[in-house]
């Protein structure tokens, strides 16, 4: 029997800025976006929580931040993780190596646990139901971070997590631009997904069968969404992007060239909605998967 085709449509960085919050809620209210993930230390996190409460059909997870943002724990308690100004460092690859080294040392490992738990606790204090966990720059899949999340999962009710497994070949067939970056991402995340998937299954934590949007980051627009729908395999898939009404100044240095408004337009496109209906694709969320 052929499996039905179900699609999770996600927006990242909820809470980082008003422009992002407004874009995500518009894409949910007027379009196909079903879930988002909250940066609990973002400058507009309180605004995002208010919007989530006003839109209970929007499933909300934690967007774990360990780079390009500020910590939830007091910086003096996690000195191995932050700069002198108390913020995380910006470079994701260097941070990944830094966290690997920190994890070897007991003090560094304790600081990672302290910060990850602080972000989970901050989410719990919002009163929102935790639909899933993912990570800024997919840091949640880091081999030194994932075991901590798994250990904390029973306490904080982590029932679903994004596993960034995307077909590199399919991404390059659609758009060969930035091929070197996409190849690097493909190799790195193939290994990280292979590490994470069996551990999540063993812990009873749900994930999708595949992910779209990682290699197309910043350009999950109408054309791309129509392509994903037309080629969607059976099973549960997730497509994620970074919708916003316009470029948020706080993220401008990290998201150069992103077409945030184009993503909102794609997510609210009548053509995209019609394509989903014609293809018989069911929209879902990680929160819905938990109930199934």
Tens digit of pLDDT for each residue in 109-120?
Answer: 899 999 999 999
SS3 206: strand
In the chain, domain spans? 5-291
SS3 at position 43:
coil
Q: Is 0.85 topped by the overall pTM?
A: yes
- Identify the CA nearest to 182 among candidates 167, 168, 163: 168
Half-sphere exposure of 165 (CA within 13 A, CB side): 16
- Name the CATH superfamily housing domain 5-291: Glycoside hydrolase/deacetylase (3.20.20.370)
User: Residue 144 to residues 85, 104, 164, 195: CA-CA distances in angstroms?
Assistant: 24, 9, 16, 11
**Would you say 66 and 139 are in contact if contact means Cβ atoms under 8 Å apart?**
yes
Write the pLDDT tens digit of every residue in 237-284: 999 999 999 999 999 888 989 999 999 999 999 999 999 999 999 999
Q: Does residue 203 register a pLDDT over 90? A: yes
User: Does residue 94 register a pLDDT over 90?
Assistant: no
């Amino acid at each position: 029997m052929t499996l039905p085709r179900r699609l999770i449509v996600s927006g990242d960085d909820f809470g980082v800025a008003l422009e992002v919050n407004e874009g995500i809620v518009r894409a949910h209210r007027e379009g196909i976006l079903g879930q988002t993930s909250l940066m609990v230390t973002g400058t507009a996190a309180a605004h995002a929580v208010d919007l989530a409460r006003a839109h209970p059909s929007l499933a909300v997870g934690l967007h774990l931040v360990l780079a390009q943002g500020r910590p939830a724990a007091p910086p003096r308690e996690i000195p191995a993780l932050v700069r002198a100004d108390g913020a995380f460092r910006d470079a994701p690859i260097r941070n990944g190596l830094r966290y690997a080294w920190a994890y070897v040392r007991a003090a560094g490992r304790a600081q990672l646990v302290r910060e990850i738990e602080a972000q989970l606790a901050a989410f719990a204090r919002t009163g929102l139901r935790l639909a899933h966990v993912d990570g800024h720059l997919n840091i949640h899949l880091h081999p030194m971070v994932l075991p901590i999340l798994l250990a904390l999962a029973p306490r904080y009710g982590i029932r679903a997590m994004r596993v960034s497994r995307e077909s590199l070949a399919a991404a390059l067939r659609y758009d060969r631009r930035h091929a070197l970056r996409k190849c690097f991402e493909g190799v790195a995340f193939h290994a990280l997904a292979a590490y994470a998937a069996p551990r999540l299954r063993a812990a009873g934590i749900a994930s999708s069968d595949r992910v779209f949007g990682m290699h197309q980051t910043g350009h999950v627009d109408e054309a791309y969404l129509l392509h994903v729908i037309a080629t969607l395999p059976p099973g549960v898939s997730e497509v994620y992007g970074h919708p916003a009404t316009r470029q948020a100044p706080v993220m401008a240095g990290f998201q150069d060239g992103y077409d945030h408004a184009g993503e909102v337009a794609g997510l609210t496109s009548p053509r995209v909605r019609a394509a989903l209906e014609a293809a018989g694709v069911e929209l879902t969320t990680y929160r819905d998967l938990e109930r199934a």
